[in-house]
Amino acid sequence: MFYYGYGYSGEYYLSYFIFVLPALLLAMYAQAKINTAFNKYLRVPSNTGLTGAQIARLILDRNGLYDVYVEQVNGKLTDHYDPRKKIVRLSNNVYGGSSIAAMSVAAHEVGHALQHAEGYMPLILRNNIAPIANFGSRMVWIFIMLGFILNAFFIDLGIILFLAVVLFQVITLPVEFNASKRALVQLENGISPVENIRPAKEVLSAAALTYVAATLTAIGELARIFFLTRNRRD
């Protein structure tokens, strides 16, 4: 059996089932839910006469964000806002689609551009933490192993780095919820027929659940790290 110097590998797998697996199951459910909602409303026309790209451009222009561009990106549900280049990138079905799903996702991504324009603090914090979180997510287990082999200092360093991952996910929640709230306000303001607002909320709520699941997964992983390293840290 693989031995870490503090116990048997059984604890490694036990900790996974206790701390991480429940959140991963929620993540699988959330992903299925967003796929179901997106595919359902991808087939329902928004009756706005506008594609997702046109809706994005309309919201940007009426909020004075003429310097933010809208581009098409390949893939499904790959939509995002790039704050460095001030570009709203919309996936194929959203960019050229005129469905309720396309309308909802496009408006949500523009919501991030609106946040950026007004200096929305959670978004600024998330953008600043992102490089550390990306590094921490890649390197945490390398530092943990170095801690068992060399010195417990590396375990502490790995935990600090992974705290940035958890913080990033926690801050992502208000950022995403706020972007959806802004999206609905914009859609209700003369863009979408009133009967489309409830389906739009359904799409955006399903998307929000994926961020909740990601946050719980990160917290579970952090708890697992504390559990596995408790003896070495002591």
The whole-number average pLDDT for the span 201-230 is 92
Contacts of residue 44, Cβ cutoff 8 Å, sequence gap at least 6: 99, 100, 101, 199
Say whether 109 is catalytic.
yes
- Average per-residue pLDDT for the chain: 91
Q: Is residue 177 very low, low, confident or very high in pLDDT (cuts 50, 70, 90)? A: very high
- 71 vs 61: CA distance, rounded Å: 15
Tokens of 110: 């523009």
* Predicted pLDDT at 228: 83
Contacts of residue 195, Cβ cutoff 8 Å, sequence gap at least 6: none
Select which of 11, 71, 109, 118 is catalytic: 109
Q: Are 221 and 20 a contacting pair, CB within 8 Å?
A: yes
Domain segments of the chain as ranges: 9-233
The whole-model pTM stands at: 0.88
Q: Are 79 and 97 a contacting pair, CB within 8 Å?
A: no
Q: Tens digits of per-residue pLDDT, 1-45? A: 333 444 446 676 677 777 778 888 988 999 999 999 999 999 999
Query: Helix (H) and strand (E) counts for the chain?
Result: 8, 3
Q: Determine what percent of the chain is predicted with pLDDT higher than 90.
A: 79
* Residue linked to tokens 């222009």: 61
Q: Tens digits of per-residue pLDDT, 91-113? A: 999 999 999 999 999 999 999 99
